[in-house]
Amino acid sequence: MKLKAKFPSAASGPFYSVLRSRVNNHFKENQISPNANAGMWMKTIIFLASYVLLYLVILLLPINLFALAVLTVLLGMTAAFVGFNICHDAIHGSFSKSKKVNHLLSFLFNLLGASPYVWNITHNVVHHTYTNIAGHDEDIEVAPGLIRISDADELKSFHKYQQWYAFPIYGLASLSWVLRKDYKKFFQASVGAHANKHPKIEYFNLFFFKAIYYFLFLALPIMLMDIAWYHVIVGFMILHLSQGFTMGLVFQLAHVVEGTEFPIPDLAGNMQESWAEHQMATTANFATDSKFAAFFLGGLNRQIEHHLFPKICHIHYGSISKIVKSTALEYGIVYHENKTFQMALQSHFNMLKKMGRE
C-alpha cells in the first residue's frame, strides 16, 4: 500500500477558518438551510421523471431504430444529470439533513449502473482528500497509461496524439464503470493509500444491485422489445457512451486544465500546502455565469466551492462563490476559473497537448 499523503495543520494559515466562518454566517444571517431547498427538490423531480419516462418509452413503445438511438442518447445524458444533481449530493450527505433521505437518494446510483458504496470510497474519501495527487487520486485516472495528465505519469510516444483520442475514451468511462471499475476498486487491497475493508453486506449489495441493473437494461429489453437481441446490446453501448462522455468531460474540466496543479508528496508523504490551499491549487470552476450549466451539472461546474464545502448542497454554490472568491483573493490564493464551457474545453485540450509533449 502506498504511503499516505499528509497535509500540514490547517492552523498553518487562517484562510480556511476565515472562509468557513464567513460561509456559515451567510446561512445564519439569511436564515437559509445549507441543504436542499424547493428549487433543489424541483430539479430532483424533473430529472427523475425524465429518466423514468425515457426508459419506459424506449422499453414499451414501438419506435424505429433511429428514434430509439436518439432517445437512448438522451437517456444516457439524463442518467449523468441524475448522478450530478441528486446522487452526488446525497452520497456526500449534503442533499438533506436527514441521513435516511440521503441514503434513499444514494440508492438511485445503483439504477445508473454504479455502486454508491464504492463511489463513496473512491470519490468522497480519496478524491476529495488527495485531489490530483498521482498514485492517490484514482478518480482522475480515466485511462492510466493511455492518457498522461501529470509529470508523474510516464511519457510515451503516442501521448503526443492524446488531445485527439482522449475524448472518445471519455465515452468509455461509464461502460467501464458498470462492467469493470466497481468490481476492480472493491476487490483492490487499497484505493490509493486507503485500505479497503468492507462490511459483509456490501459484498452482497455489489453483486445484487449490479444484477438488478443488468436485468433492467439488458435482460428486460431483450424480453419485451420487438427488436433483435444484438440491437439491445448496441443500445446498451450507446447508452453508456452518452452517459460516460457527459460524465468524463465534466469531471476532467474541473481538474485537468491549465493552471491546476498535480502536487507530489515528499519521501515522508508530507504535502507542502494545507488541505484547503491544496484544493484551491488543484481545482477549477468553469461556465460560472451559465444558468444552463448550473441547472444541469449539479454544481460540478463550481468545483472549488464543492471541494471546500462538500456538505453544502450544490444549489447554494452560486451564492457562496462570491464569498469564496473574495476571501481567496484577500489571502493571495489563486481562484482558477474558466468563464465559459468553451474556454474550459480549450484549456483541457491545451493541457492534454502539453502533457503529451513534455
Phi, psi of 286 (to 5 degrees): -150, 155
CA distance readout (Å), 299 to 2, 260, 266, 312: 32, 19, 33, 11
95 near 36, Cβ under 8 Å? yes
What is the number of other CB atoms lying within 10 angstroms of the CB of residue 77? Answer: 19
Weakly modelled stretches of the chain, pLDDT under 70: 1-3, 10-12, 358
R_g (Cα) of the chain, nearest Å: 21
Coil, helix or strand for 286?
strand
DSSP state of 134: T
Residue-level pLDDT at 140: 73
Phi, psi of 18 (to 5 degrees): -65, -45
307 near 218, Cβ under 8 Å? no
The grid coordinates of residue 270 equal 508530507
The grid coordinates of residue 158 equal 503516442
Domain ranges, ordered by start, for the chain: 10-355
Question: Angle CA(252)–CA(312)–CA(133) in degrees, nearest 5?
Answer: 35
The grid coordinates of residue 195 equal 485500505
The pTM of the full predicted model, rounded to 2 decimals, is: 0.92
Q: How many Cα atoms occupy the beta-carbon half-sphere of 336 within 13 Å?
A: 25
The grid coordinates of residue 259 equal 493552471
Tell me the DSSP string of 308-330.
H-TTS-GGGHHHHHHHHHHHHHH
337 near 21, Cβ under 8 Å? no
Q: What is the pLDDT of residues 305-339, one digit of tens each?
A: 999 999 999 999 999 999 999 999 999 999 999 99
68 near 235, Cβ under 8 Å? yes
Give residue 16's region: left, alpha or beta (phi > 0; psi -120 to 50): alpha
